[in-house]
Chains A and B, each alone.
Chain A
Amino acid sequence: MELKDQGAIVTGGGGGIGRATVLRLAREGAVIAIADLSAENARTVAEEVRAGGGKAIALPVDVTRSSDVARMVEETTKSLGRIDILVNVAGGSLQKAVAEMSEEEWDFIVDVNLKGTFLCSKAVLPTMMGRRSGAIVNISSIYGFTGNATRAHYSAAKAGVVGFTKALAQEMAPYHVRVNAVAPGRIATPRVRGLYTDEEWKKRIDPIPMKRAGEPDEIAEAVFFLASPASIYITGQTLHVNGGSLLY
């Protein structure tokens, strides 16, 4: 158990990649605050962790609201004692061409993916800097590198996550706080898979060199690596987990 008794916050921990990350970190002994917009999803995953013998709390959090984020850090500190790891998974996308995209839609997607990452990271810095130790892992996306028609806001926000990761990594290096990103390719989360018919899905899998989508567990492995002491000399990097879709 490589993360025994370490405190971790996973935003978006109630679904897909977030849930897989929570379960992976819990398996290594981490105690976890599961923050999710959906209180119910957060609770369900927390129960899964407890059923497996781990410790977790569920927190309903909108990562775009600084008051929610402040409460998240407060309650985590109170219940878990310490915050060693922050994983910014909370995010989301909608399909819309730029020509039709409203300002509100732009703001919503950029806020949940990028501003949320800023707010949550900022909120855990004091404790991590004070203890001169910590790991932040941000979830970017292959679209942050390739762009994606009908997802300009999401692509911009996920590229923004990479820039933020590098800048924060530079600021935090003297404090031994590491900041890295994971850029998933096509991942078969229940939500994403549900968007497509079998035929549409096949068309999207075909161009991937491995000819399959990734599993949430495979992203969770990369997050765990970047949160663990095995990556102690790695900071400011983006780890691409995409079956060869983008060779970076």
Chain B
Amino acid sequence: MELSGKVALVTGASRGIGRAVAELLGSRGAKVAVNYERRPENAAEVARGIEQRGGEAMVVQADVSQASQVESMIAQVTTRWGPVDILVNNAGIYPHSLFIEMPEEEWDRVLAVNLKGTFLCSKAVVSPMKEKKWGRIINMTASSGLRGSATASHYAASKGGMIGLTKSMAVEVALFGITVNAVAPTTTDTDMPRGDLSEEESRKKLERQSREIPMGRIGRPEEVADAVLFLVRESGNYITGQVVCVNGGSLMR
């Protein structure tokens, strides 16, 4: 299989897009470390699913915003399987506040998980990738990182920041066989856009958003995972520093 022998770490993989990415990479032969922060049962379920389909998986707990936890997560994966070849920085949070009312702590937390977490995890895996002369880093950004988001300015800033980080890292490691790219989904059918809304409110919100998308529907986690796989395979060899939009045409660039 095309990813046989590769070690992948997917952060925030207990559900949603991260889960779909972990499952797809696992089905293509990668050994997959399923990172979670607060949902061990969900992460275990994802890992079990990968194993049941003949793949290899492990679960690793870490709050990606904490350097010590990131280090210990990478150490666990490396001890068991060797260095990480494929890192998917997917862990993220998406609270809502008007910026005028936004508590500083909420701003800090969003930037810490989404942006600093991406920095910390990438930094922790890049040296062995350089030695191997092969590596893939995929950062899960979002449409709002490109066009902003009313009621989630911290989220939009963190996702925009991830794009700047992606491009900068891409150039720094380009000579070492490592590519760094971002994938930018729009609203995707996961728990995240539903937040704390009731079922009825969620349905209305997602229907409204679907109407605003040229393809007339929101995305599916598997469709985002397919873009990650394309960048991770040898097919992505000459692609680095780019943002691949998976959004049904809602933002064209």
Contact = CB atoms under 8 A, between A and B. Distances in A.
Contacts of A222: 235, 239
B235 A244 contact: no
Interface stretch (B152-160, B193-201, B212-220): B212-220
B170 A244 contact: yes
B206 interface: no
Nearest to B236: A221
Contact of A233 (B167, B230, B246): B246
Interface residues of A, number: 35
Contact of A173 (B216, B238, B244): B216
Contacts of A209: 170-171, 174-175, 240-241
B241 A244 contact: yes
Nearest to B235: A221
B214 A169 contact: yes
Contacts of A236: 214, 249, 252
A244 B174 contact: yes
A215 B238 contact: yes
B248 interface: yes
Interface string A224-242: 1100001111111111111
Given A209-B175, A237-B253, 8 more contacts: A174-B214, A221-B234, A224-B235, A225-B235, A231-B227, A235-B214, A241-B239, A243-B238
B37 interface: no
Contact of B175 (A174, A210, A235, A242): A210
A218 B238 contact: yes
B88 to A, nearest CB: 16
19 contacts: A169-B249, A170-B214, A173-B248, A209-B170, A218-B238, A218-B239, A222-B235, A225-B230, A230-B226, A230-B230, A231-B227, A233-B248, A234-B223, A235-B215, A243-B174, A244-B170, A247-B170, A247-B171, A247-B242
B243 interface: yes
Most buried by B among A209, A210, A232, A239: A210
B121 interface: no
A241 B179 CA distance: 12
Most buried by A among B167, B224, B235, B252: B252
Nearest to A218: B238
B114 interface: no
A234 B170 contact: no
Interface of A: 165-166, 169-170, 173-174, 176, 185, 209-211, 214-215, 218, 221-222, 224-225, 230-244, 247-248
B161 to A, nearest CB: 15
B237 A235 contact: no
Contacts of B215: 173, 176, 233, 235
Q: Is the interface of B mostly helix, strand, loop or mixed?
A: mixed
A173 B247 CA distance: 12
Nearest to A225: B230
B17 interface: no
Given A209-B175, A225-B230, A244-B170, A233 B220 contact: yes
B240 A244 contact: yes
B245 interface: yes
Interface in B135-152: none
Nearest to B188: A233
B95 to A, nearest CB: 26
Contacts of A214: 238
A31 B62 CA distance: 49
Nearest to A210: B174
A237 B239 contact: no
Contact of B249 (A173, A185, A211, A221): A173
A239 B245 CA distance: 9
Contacts of B227: 230-231, 234
B229 interface: yes
Nearest to A174: B216
Interface in B30-79: none
A232 B167 CA distance: 26
A4 to B, nearest CB: 18
B240 A210 contact: yes
Contacts of A232: 223, 226
